Amino acid sequence: MSQIPEIDIYETQKRMAEGSLLIDVREQNEYDELHIPGSILLPLSELQERYSELPKDKPLIMQCRSGGRSGRATEFLLANGYEDVVNMAGGILAWSAADLETE
């Protein structure tokens, strides 16, 4: 398996400010409990059916609770023709631990 491209939470903030989309692949109940402002929910359980809803012309950052599910989502999208996709290492746990904004 090739290395999945990853960025940290601070690079995520920077890239979001520059127009990257943050895709949260956790389930609806997890998202409702806590999420990163501006993130878009697309659960990993629905990704195979719905991934075509994601734009191919914008950089995508995949995010979950700790980085596992979003890593699988990143790998799936890269295998299905998406080129500018990275995984946010550490997920929302790392984001929250750094006291960054959540909703």
DSSP letter (8 states) at residue 52: G
Check if 54 is active-site: no
Give every CB contact of residue 28 below 8 A, 6+ residues apart in sequence.
41, 43
Q: At 3, is the secondary structure helix, strand, or coil?
A: coil
- Running DSSP on this structure, what letter comes out for residue 66? S
Which of 36, 42, 60, 64 is catalytic? The answer is 64
Report the catalytic residues: 64
